Chain A
Amino acid sequence: MVCAILCCASFAFGDEVEESLSTLATEQLKASTREMIQSGIDTNNVIRMTKLMLQNQFSMEQALRGQKVIMNAQKEDLPVEPIMNKAYEGMVKQVQAKNIVQAMEQVRARYVFAHEQARALTKERSQTRAIGNTIAKTFTAGMDQKGIQGIMDRLRERTQQMTQSQTMELAKESFKTARDMARLGLSSKTTTNLVCLALQKGYTARKMENMRNSFMTQSLSSPLTHLANSYSNAIKGGKSVNRLGYSGRSRPDGSGGSGRSDGSGGSGRSGGGKK
């Protein structure tokens, strides 16, 4: 019975892959495409990505390598969406195929590292995935490995006497804070120092969250490095998070609703350079 179902499923994948890639792909690439689908990756996404790679002048070898990166991530229980998105992003930006495959591998490596860090905090799968993904986004935002490991070391010290749920809450809020500060453009070193200082001063998950919200709101109206210094001094001095920071103007409620991204903008790479 199971064999029959697997055979039917295999034929179904085969039909879809054959139909979509018949004239474009080699037998080896079609087989790899079927393998991806059988491993549980969404069929439409697999076919879309493979077709786009071939339309964007990937060689068969490069397409196979791209697929391999995704299958490795799937086997390692890592999310495949960020890696597939990197491929799509590179193709829209008309980046050379070899650089797209390299970037896909970089994304996977970030998630491998992030999930390793997460497993040091919890063995529970859903928690590992949640905190691992947050760490990976922190990494993507510009934090370096040294900074992430610095925060991990401080977290391990702080959470020795905590319950598992308290540990996870504090880790989540700490890495979200680091992620958002890095996304604002704060250096990895300054971000690490601020988050580690807060952990050292006994900040709880709620206090860390409040500090992040306050920092985000004040960053709209204060120079970033000045604000970071001000927060650092305030945390060292044991000031309440409500009174932290630079005494510039701030948004009334910090709730968002409209935003700006002023300045003249910058152009990136032009359309050329395809392989």
Chain B
Amino acid sequence: MKKYFLLSILAFSVFTGCAHHYYRVKGVAVELYLKRPDAITVAFASSLDGYQLHQAEKRDSSTWKVTVPAYREFTYFYIVDGVLFVPTCKFKEKDDFGTINCIYIPGL
């Protein structure tokens, strides 16, 4: 168990080393991080609540964070300085408007 925990931490560190977009599950919530040092405002929209815009919180000089429920899958994207921004993400789908959305899947 302890070994798996340490391996998970190691894997996480490796995976997030130079990532521009990543997430962490904390209990019933997921924290999504986006690195955009150039951004003045970052908003997040998802299928969880009919794509209402939520302002992301600035964590440091380059990282923005939003926290949302992690209990079910959802599609999402960002609006950075008023412009649509879709980060590179593992799971994605076409959005019917000529671009894509990211998908968060619990447990993956």
A interface residue numbers (CB < 8 A to B): 45, 48, 84-86, 88-95, 99, 103, 106-107, 140-142, 180, 182-185, 216, 219-220, 251-253, 255-271
State whether A265 touches B20 (Cβ < 8 A): yes
Q: A266, B108: Cβ atoms under 8 Å?
A: no
Q: Name the residue in A91, A103, A268, A271 with the highest tally of chain B Cβ atoms < 10 Å from its Cβ.
A: A268
Asked if B94 and A265 make an inter-chain contact with CB atoms under 8 angstroms apart, the answer reads no
Question: Given A45-B50, A92-B45: A258 and B4 within 8 A (CB)?
Answer: no
Total contacts A-B at CB 8 Å: 148
B97 touches A95 (CB 8 A): yes
Residues of B at the A interface (CB closer than 8 Å) are 3-4, 7-8, 11-12, 15-16, 18-25, 45, 47, 50-53, 77, 79-80, 82-103, 105-108
* B97 in contact with A103 (CB, 8 Å): yes
Q: What are 9 of the A-B contact pairs (CB < 8 Å)?
A: A89-B95, A140-B93, A255-B107, A260-B22, A263-B21, A264-B20, A265-B85, A267-B85, A268-B83
- Give Cα A184–Cα B3 distance, bound, in whole angstroms: 29
Q: How far is the CA of A261 from the CA of B51 in the complex (A)?
A: 21
B22 touches A256 (CB 8 A): no
Partner of B84, one of A48, A86, A107, A269: A269
Q: Do B91 and A184 touch (CB < 8 A)?
A: yes
Residue of B nearest to A110 (CB): B96
A92 near B96 with CB under 8 A, answer no
Write the nearest CB–CB distance from B58 to chain A, whole angstroms. Answer: 17
